[in-house]
């Protein structure tokens, strides 16, 4: 029987809220320090968001199947869900590049919004599972054809991304969890982390080994080999959600599986919080010490980063579980539940809305920038706080939207 733990939704809600804040400043040139990614090596609060979400993907995989089993139907469900998540992320990269019959301005925006509505129906609503598979495979075939033929306007569309990595991690973690014992999963996790370290340290790039610079490292070289022209526009020569660095991300999800088993296994009930604390402290310490030879780095998703962030996630999970589940103190959790039960809705549309607002022009300036510069900037002496205020207003907007969904018990699931 599936076990529903409000503490999991609270954890996910906190993660989604932080994601919304850090991804939507009023001005990317004025962001408060905690909301900035580490420049390269290191880990800021913002660098915790993505691994925390992959960690909870592992936990919820366990909660969805407390007694793992693998058959054709299970494989179909996992495959369809993973492909839909991947496709949603891929579409975000295509949205601003959609063009049709030379249309411009609001006419083009309407065409793009029609495509958004179509994608929502195809990928975020429920219908026959096999039909979902055929639809998502056809959808992916169209997008990859546009990108790799290439069709004009789509030749540099980004292929990797956050949702794409979530989809891949979910697929691998769910298949492994439903197919093998925890001992095997532990071995896989160790091989991924140690193997990635060995590859990054020993495989030569440009004649040198053990280099972890932005452009000179194994992950970047791998991405350039297979994703040339389709990487993150801000870097172009490497991608923070690239192919090779996704391998250790699987370990982040697998650690979530181990924590998920700890949360649902009855024999651990009396000492559950203590075990969570021990695991969290141990993982954090291992990541911290591994950092001395393999630096903590989000863009490379280094093995030390996996353990360090998973440890912090486990400690936060221990705290939330203790307060919510063991002490029953729940008066404060509703705002986080509102965000936590509809993560895919905000993941997708939080990527669409800023793109739409930049298309709507007022005095030749995008709607967001017009409101921000004329409404918020004059109110603050420090532009960083004006930028933060926009992010908070955007978060409140989503709170209002998601509160309606929560009240009406509308939960959008892939």
Please check whether residue 375 lies inside any domain of the structure: no
pLDDT of residue 377: 93
User: Residues 235-252: pLDDT tens digits?
Assistant: 667 889 999 999 999 999
List, in sequence order, every residue forming a beta bridge with 42; answer none if it has no partner: 297
Judge whether residue 2 has pLDDT over 60: no
The pLDDT value recorded for residue 101 is 78
Structure tokens at 51: 């691994």
pLDDT at 281: 98
> How many Cα atoms within 13 Å fall on the side-chain side of residue 278?
6
Residue 117 has pLDDT above 60, yes or no: yes
pLDDT tens column, 120-165: 999 999 999 999 999 999 999 999 999 999 888 888 899 999 999 9
Per-residue confidence band for 167, with pLDDT thresholds at 50, 70 and 90: very high
Model pLDDT, residue 1: 47
In a domain, 356, yes or no: no
Q: Answer whether residue 306 shows pLDDT above 80.
A: yes
Q: Give the pLDDT of residue 235.
A: 66
- The per-residue pLDDT for 255 is 98
CA 359 to chain centre: 25
Please state the φ and ψ torsions of residue 208, each to the nearest 5 degrees. -130, 155
- E strands within 59-192? none
Q: Is residue 225 part of a domain?
A: yes
Q: What is the reported pLDDT for 329?
A: 96
Q: For the chain, give the mean pLDDT.
A: 93
Residues 6+ apart with CB under 8 A from 77: 129
Residue 382 lies in a domain: no
Domain that holds residue 207: 37-328
Picking from 59-73, 185-199, 356-370, which range would have the lowest pLDDT averaged per residue? 356-370
Residue 30 lies in a domain: no
Q: What's the rounded mean pLDDT across residues 188-205?
A: 96
pLDDT over 70 percentage in the chain: 99
Q: Which residue has the tokens 């404060």?
A: 332
Percent helix, strand and coil across the chain, each to the nearest 5: 70, 0, 30
CB within 8 A of 319, min separation 6: which ones? none
User: How many domains does the chain divide into?
Assistant: 1
More confident residue, 17 or 351: 17
272 in a domain, yes or no? yes
d(CA 227, CA 265): 42
Q: What three-state secondary structure class fits 50?
A: helix
> Could you give the CA distance from residue 150 to residue 145 in angstroms, rounded to a whole number?
7
Tell me the sheet residues that pair with 392: none
Rounded to two decimals, what is the model's pTM? 0.94
Residue 42 lies in a domain: yes
Q: What is the average per-residue pLDDT within 69-89? A: 95
- Is 394 a member of any domain? no
- pLDDT band for position 190 (50/70/90)? very high
Q: Using one digit for the tens of pLDDT, what is the confidence trace for 16-46?
A: 999 999 999 999 999 999 999 999 999 999 9
**Measured distance CA(166)–CA(39) in Å, rounded:** 23
């Amino acid at each position: 029987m599936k076990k529903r733990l409000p503490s999991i939704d609270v954890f996910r809600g906190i993660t989604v809220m932080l994601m919304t804040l850090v991804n939507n400043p009023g001005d990317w040139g004025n962001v408060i320090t905690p909301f900035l990614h580490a420049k390269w090596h290191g880990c800021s609060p913002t660098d915790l968001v993505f691994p925390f979400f992959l960690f909870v993907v592992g936990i919820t995989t366990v909660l969805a199947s407390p007694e793992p089993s693998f058959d054709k139907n299970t494989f179909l469900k996992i495959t369809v869900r993973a492909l839909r998540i991947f496709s949603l992320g891929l579409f975000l990269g295509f949205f601003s590049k959609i063009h049709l019959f030379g249309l411009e301005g609001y006419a083009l925006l309407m065409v793009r919004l029609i495509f958004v509505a179509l994608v929502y129906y195809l990928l975020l609503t429920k219908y026959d599972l096999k039909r979902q598979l055929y639809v998502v495979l056809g959808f992916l075939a169209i997008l990859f054809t546009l990108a790799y033929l290439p069709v004009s306007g789509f030749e540099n569309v980004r292929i990797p991304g956050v949702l794409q990595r979530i989809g891949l991690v979910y697929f691998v973690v769910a298949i492994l969890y439903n197919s093998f014992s925890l001992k095997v999963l532990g071995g896989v996790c160790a091989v991924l982390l140690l193997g990635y370290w060995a590859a990054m340290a020993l495989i030569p790039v440009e004649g040198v080994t053990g280099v972890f610079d932005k452009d000179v490292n194994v992950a970047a070289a791998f991405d350039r080999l297979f994703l040339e022209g389709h990487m993150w526009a801000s870097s172009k020569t490497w991608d923070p959600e690239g192919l090779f660095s996704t391998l250790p991300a699987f370990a982040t999800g697998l650690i979530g599986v181990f924590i998920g088993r700890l949360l649902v296994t009855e024999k651990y009930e009396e000492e559950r919080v203590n075990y969570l604390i021990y695991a969290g402290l141990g993982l954090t310490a291992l990541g911290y010490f591994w950092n001395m030879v393999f630096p903590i780095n989000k863009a490379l998703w280094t093995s030390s980063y996996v353990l360090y962030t998973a440890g912090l996630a486990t400690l936060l999970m221990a705290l939330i579980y203790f307060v919510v589940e063991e002490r029953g103190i729940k008066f404060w959790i509703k705002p986080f539940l509102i965000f936590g039960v509809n993560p895919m809705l905000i993941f997708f549309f939080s990527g669409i809305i800023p793109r739409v607002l930049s298309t709507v022009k007022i005095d030749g300036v995008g709607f967001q920038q017009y409101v921000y510069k004329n409404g918020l900037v004059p109110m603050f002496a420090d532009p960083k706080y004006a930028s933060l205020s926009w992010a908070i207003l955007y978060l409140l907007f989503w709170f209002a939207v998601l509160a309606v969904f929560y009240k009406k018990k509308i939960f959008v699931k892939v």
